[in-house]
Amino acid sequence: MLNHVALNGGRVAVSLTAISLHMSTFMVGFLVALFAVLPMLFSVYTGRWVDRIGVSLPMRIGNALIIVGAIIPLLWSDLAALVLAAGMIGIGFTLHQVSTQNLMGRGDSKQRLRNFSWLALAQSVSGFSGPLLAGLAIDHLGHRFAFGVLAIGPIIALYGLRKLLPTLPPHVASAPEHKVEELPEPAPLTATEQQQADMQAKAPKPGIRDLLRIAELRRILGTNTVLSGAWDTHAFIVPIYGVSIGLSATTIGTVLACFSLATFVIRLALPYIQKHVRPWTLLVSATISAGCIFLLYPLFREISFLLTLSFILGLALGGSQPSLLALMHQHSPPGRTAETVGLRLALLNSTQVMLPMGFGALGNAIGIAPLFWAYALLLYGSSWLNRDKFDRFKKKKPQHPAPPPETSTTGPASIPTSASTTPSEAAPAPESPPAPASESESESESESESATCSVTQEPARPTPIALPEQEPAPLPPVLPKQASKTQRAEPSSPTPAEPASTSSPPTAR
């Protein structure tokens, strides 16, 4: 966190010092880009080095480079000093950051996400305090002594590393030492084994292309580059835009600090958000929100509106970084995590080189407002490419258990229904006498049989058993009138009053 204070404060101090020396917008962009030139070139090799030797030595070297880079502009203030400061602080922080992220990525997925959430929370605090500290120091102490104030944090961090690194496990702090002399002499290889060894020696070594062939990892790295580029674009353009509208160094630092304060707030609530929102849904939402803020930013000059927009942008971008880091470690090949982290930093640093220099050159020609709008279009393009991820990982509502399937109306599955019919159910009711058999009644019975085919399965008819039990039942004396009423009512109804399956077959009296 203390080294991150020096990085964020150093960017603001370098850019404002260059403006005070009456340098052009392109030169300011060039100096800001120098923070990322060396990291862009050596991040992947740094990751491989960390995988090979451990995190202890790279963290110490990186911390020392940050201290030296912050002290140089304190001794003399000119273009050469600013160039050295930007380059040394940038490469030093890269060494420290690759080692730190490799250390935080150890453990299972839940522990990894928790570690990155704490790391992002600490860096949001340093992102808030760095620009604010640089702005206050410039207004009250001057540009040179502002760098001296920024060097205090890395000095304290180096002392803390001396106490912390010895407590780490040996396989984490440094790579295990291989003692070749203790290994037994290998047996001579056969012809087949020698051929396989030669093929393995001639095979190409794994490199960056192998990582980029992983489709999910490639998508994660691309989204991370666009979102982090929005972060760096905001940090680069706001000082230039603030000076153009007459803001002081303290006010510019306050606007940038408000952005970092929002990242701190959103990361406090991030564990709750991650329980209800899937990672890609969060990333696409952050991309769309950041694009809206970049569209509105150059339309306002009041400090209250600038603080509000900066805070909302911090909420959008601050919640995306922990999810991106966790996804990246999840899809990294085994044993190449630090190399993947280095590739990520190389991509980020490439945007930190190209965007300030390109925007600095364009700013002299077309102004500051089109720069905001150009990056807004880039953010919208990224959200459009990831729209399928947004739909796929959308939070689903809990589904209720499906109702049991209905009984089939045809086929053998309906046989148990008719088989379970008792003889008493199959027999006609006492007050419903059987009507005389007629041609129209036979046709209506055939229609009812086709409508209720689930009950009229021939193999399971219980009627032959039911008839002898119901024959002795006497008929009431009013049977002729009821029968006639039944016969007169039958033509008005589309189906007979009783299904054919539940009555006995018509018999002649």
d(CA 172, CA 102): 10
d(CA 39, CA 23): 25
Torsion of CA 221, 227, 231, 233, to 10 degrees: 100
d(CA 31, CA 360): 10
Q: Which amino acid is at 320?
A: S
Contact 153, 129 (CB under 8 A): no
d(CA 387, CA 384): 5
Domain ranges in the chain? 2-174+233-392
Place of tokens 């009627």: 463
Indicate the helix (H) or strand (E) that contains 78.
Answer: none
Which residues touch 422 (CB under 8 Å, ≥6 apart)?
A: 462
Question: What is the DSSP code string of 310-367?
Answer: HHHHHHHHHTTHHHHHHHHHHSSPTT-HHHHHHHHHHHHHHHHHHHHHHHHHHHHHH-
Contact 13, 146 (CB under 8 A): yes
Burial class (CB in 10 A: 0-12, 13-18, 19+), 402: exposed
* Ramachandran region, residue 345 (left: φ > 0; alpha: ψ -120 to 50; beta: rest): alpha
**Model pLDDT, residue 439:** 45
Tell which residue, 385, 382, 269, 371, has the closest CA to residue 318: 269
Tell which residue, 342, 308, 423, has the closest CA to residue 99: 342
Task: Tell me which CATH code domain 2-174+233-392 carries.
Answer: 1.20.1250.20
> Model pTM?
0.57
d(CA 278, CA 396): 10
Torsion of CA 153, 155, 161, 162, to 10 degrees: -150
Contact 360, 25 (CB under 8 A): yes
One digit per residue, pLDDT tens: the chain, 509 residues?
Answer: 788 889 888 988 998 898 888 888 888 888 888 888 887 788 778 888 888 888 888 888 999 999 999 999 998 888 899 999 999 998 999 888 888 888 877 766 777 777 777 887 787 788 778 888 888 899 888 888 999 999 998 999 888 888 877 776 655 555 544 444 454 555 666 777 666 666 665 555 566 777 777 888 888 888 888 888 898 888 888 888 888 888 888 898 899 889 888 888 888 888 788 778 887 888 888 899 999 999 998 888 889 999 999 999 999 888 887 778 778 877 778 777 777 877 887 788 788 788 888 887 887 778 788 888 989 999 998 888 877 766 544 445 455 555 555 544 444 444 444 444 444 444 444 444 444 444 444 444 444 444 444 444 444 444 445 444 445 555 555 544 444 444 444 444 444 444 444 444 444 43
